[in-house]
Amino acid sequence: MASVLVVEDDQFVRSALIRHLTEAAHTVRSVGTALEALREVAHFSFDVVILDLGLPDLDGAEALKMLRGITDVPVIIATARDDETEIVRLLNDGADDYLTKPFSVEHLSARMAAVLRRSRATGGTPASPVIRVGGLSIDPLRRQAELDGARLDLTRREFDLLAFLAGRPGVVVARKELLAEVWQQSYGDDQTIDVHLSWLRRKLGETAARPRYLHTLRGVGVKLEPPGLEPLR
């Protein structure tokens, strides 16, 4: 069973996908616009996204680039377009697979299974001990995090960011290193990090002005440490 986000503005196609995926025991959420899709992945964790290109508010190709800025969730493009040049470009831009409409539910199921196998295989690592920092408890293997015993609802990228910083408690990590290790990018926009830190702070019950775990050192980097320790200035 997988958690699936369907991004499709055609109500007939959307309903058919939801019905098929639900019958296959998947958990499904669905939206009809690119902006709704971005909002969904920012607040919920998904195993795979099925993305239509012909969206009413933003072309799916642009939506894909924006999705890749905030999450590495596997994305399967589902569209009527069949231009080979565009398919190659989309795959290079971060799509994990591509389906041309019309397609059978069996074909979709097979592609989803293959993408999920690849995703879980590349994410599989030897058993890691649970990381504990103050009231934070982070299980890298199960990809679960708790704060004071309460489960945190984190997106994939938020979890990766939290786990990376928690694995280095008290160590100031430069933004360039965060981009390289968490986003696998040699360069990028600092705003991407700032946005994710803001979302993560909100879920940890803190703010930049009143930090508890996450401390930003202007011009230096970010560190995570348990509450009660005096942050560097």
198 pLDDT tier (thresholds 50, 70, 90) = very high
121 pLDDT tier (thresholds 50, 70, 90) = low
pLDDT of residue 187: 65
7 pLDDT tier (thresholds 50, 70, 90) = very high
Which residue carries 């231009």 as its tokens? 83
pTM to 2 decimal places: 0.54
DSSP letter, residue 84: H
Among the ranges given (11-20, 171-180, 188-197), the one the predictor scored with the smallest mean pLDDT: 188-197
CA angle (122 as vertex; 117, 128 as ends), nearest 5:
115
pLDDT of residue 191: 79
Is residue 233's pLDDT more than 50? no
Among the ranges given (41-45, 99-103, 185-189, 227-231), the one the predictor scored with the smallest mean pLDDT: 227-231
In whole angstroms, what is the distance from residue 31 CA to residue 8 CA? Answer: 6
Mean pLDDT of the chain: 85
131-133 sheet: strands from edge to edge: 131-133, 136-139, 144-147, 150-151
126 pLDDT tier (thresholds 50, 70, 90) = very low
214 vs 43, residue with greater confidence: 214
Non-local CB neighbours of 103 within 8 Å, separated by 6+ positions:
78
Burial 83-119 (b: 16+ CB within 10 A, else e): eeeebeebeeeebbbbbeeeeeeeebeebbeebbeeb
Q: Which secondary structure element, helix H or strand E, spans residue 50, and what is its range?
A: strand 48-51
CA distances (Å), origin 55, targets 63, 89, 154: 9, 18, 27
75 vs 192, residue with greater confidence: 75
Q: What percent of the chain has pLDDT over 70?
A: 91
